[in-house]
Amino acid sequence: MSQKSIQNELEYTKHVVSERLCYYEPPKNKLQKTFVEELSSSLNQKQKSIHPKFFYDKKGSELFEEICKLPEYYLTRTEINILTQLYEKLPPHLNGDFRLVELGSGSAKKTRIFISILERLQKHVEYFPIDVSNILKDSSKKLRDDYENLRVTGIIDSYESGLNFLKHYDHGNNLIIFLGSSFGNFSYENGLIFLQKINSSMKKSDLFLIGLDLVKDKTVLERAYNDSQDVTAKFNLNVLSRINSELDSDFNIRKFAHHAIYNENQNRVEIYLRSLENQTVNISKADMTLRIKQDELIHTENSCKFTIPKIKEMLSTTGFQIRDIWYDEKQHYCLVLFSKND
Ligand SMILES: C[S@@+](CC[C@H](N)C(=O)[O-])C[C@H]1O[C@@H](n2cnc3c(N)ncnc32)[C@H](O)[C@@H]1O
């Protein structure tokens, strides 16, 4: 399938911002249809849930940036600390020119480390961010302005659709990065399916680098998701405001509370919205009336924590070989570089 036909199949519109920056976007009505369909289904289950990708409207993306600066949220600064080791440690793995592909690029601050590494090694750098959030438009512009030899092609869509597009793009080498512990949002089973999907969209010469949070003390974990300034609570509750404004619903934010606990059996932080009373909510655009009991939990996110044996097992069962693993001093977090099996 050609690049043009996959663009047509995904119904993307190409926006050319300048010679070195363009992005592809699905039609607005398609995005809203997905939102309505997924939400109607997930809120109709016995365990009500809202998919975490819906956190990231403009306000949600801004709140996530605030979370990254919180003293309790060790993940961002720990990952950045390991990333700085890559100036020396990544180049030996790069054979030839690479395009940088980023899943869930967000504000693309960590991306700068990779662009700096690549621009030392090659004449031009091509960057391919994939993110459901419109934040991609601003972060891509900033990067284009700051790096003369950078060309950006963004996809404002889900990881899976972005990977489909990339698969048909060209024969160049891709260095795919997936940072911020976002892989931890998948359940174990869906994580394996996702890794298989990535494997099938990679060429032999491609590399994949992932940032994963490791199992650690329960108090450190629970503090990271229950910060003293309640920014994580605002981030969690904001998804209800987003549903109110985009799908015409009447969630009363004051009738819900943020709830995050570490499930030691499953090695994951589970995040919920807890209903403070018996209540009824109407979601007009989904044609739905929700009855929610006092103390009922709406699941909004899992953040899985990993052990090294588990990571190795997941990667080998999905057809990958590990090239290298890098840690911080406390072994709280790791970056894993891998490629497809021969
Ligand atoms: C936890 S933030 C991480 C941002 C950045 N990579 C970092 O490490 O700071 C997750 C990012 O992925 C995007 N995202 C979440 N779920 C997604 C999905 N299913 N498909 C595409 N993007 C997604 C969000 O919009 C957000 O920008």
pLDDT score recorded for residue 1: 64
Domain ranges, ordered by start, for the chain: 58-217+307-340
Backbone φ, ψ for residue 223 (5° rounding): -65, -35
Q: What is the rounded distance in angstroms from the CA atom of residue 336 to the CA atom of residue 187?
A: 19
Q: Which residues of the chain have pLDDT under 50?
A: none
Token code pair at residue 283: 């979601």
How many C-beta neighbours within 10 Å does residue 200 have?
12
Closest C-alpha among 111, 127, 103 to residue 53? 103
Pick the atom of ligand 1 nearest to 157's CA. 21
pTM above 0.85, yes or no: yes
Q: Is 269 helix (H, G, I), strand (E, B) or coil?
A: strand
- The single-letter DSSP state of residue 183 is G
Dihedral (CA of 81, 160, 22, 205) sign: positive
Contacts of 29 (CB under 8 A, 6+ apart): none
Among 182, 197, 271, 335, which residue has the most ligand 1 atoms within 8 Å of its CB, making it the best to mutate? Answer: 182
Q: Is 328 helix (H, G, I), strand (E, B) or coil?
A: coil
Instruction: Could you please state the CATH topology (level 3) that the domain comprising 58-217+307-340 is classified under.
Output: Rossmann fold (3.40.50)
Q: What separation in Å is there between the alpha carbon of 300 and the centre of ligand 1?
A: 14
Closest C-alpha among 204, 180, 175 to residue 320? 204
Pick the atom of ligand 1 nearest to 133's CA. 25
Torsion on CA atoms 192, 118, 126, 106, rounded to nearest 10: 60
| CB-facing half-sphere around the CA of 281: CA atoms within 13 A | 25
pLDDT digits (tens, 9 = 90+) for 73-108: 999 999 999 999 999 999 999 999 999 999 999 999
pLDDT digits (tens, 9 = 90+) for 42-64: 999 999 999 999 999 999 999 99
Closest C-alpha among 49, 295, 77, 68 to residue 185? 49
Q: What is the rounded distance in angstroms from the CA atom of residue 227 to the CA atom of residue 239?
A: 18
Integer CA distances (angstroms), 150 to 118, 121, 170, 207, in order: 10, 13, 18, 20
pLDDT digits (tens, 9 = 90+) for 129-142: 999 999 999 999 99
Which residue ranges have their beta carbon within 6 Å of ligand 1? Answer: 53, 56, 61, 64, 68, 104-106, 110, 130-133, 135, 158-159, 179-180, 182
* Angle CA 183–58–256, to nearest 5: 80
Please report which helix (H) or strand (E) contains residue 59, including its range.
Answer: helix 58-68
pLDDT score recorded for residue 130: 98
pLDDT score recorded for residue 8: 72
pLDDT score recorded for residue 169: 81
Closest C-alpha among 104, 97, 100, 208 to residue 162? 104
Please report which helix (H) or strand (E) contains residue 245, including its range.
Answer: helix 231-247
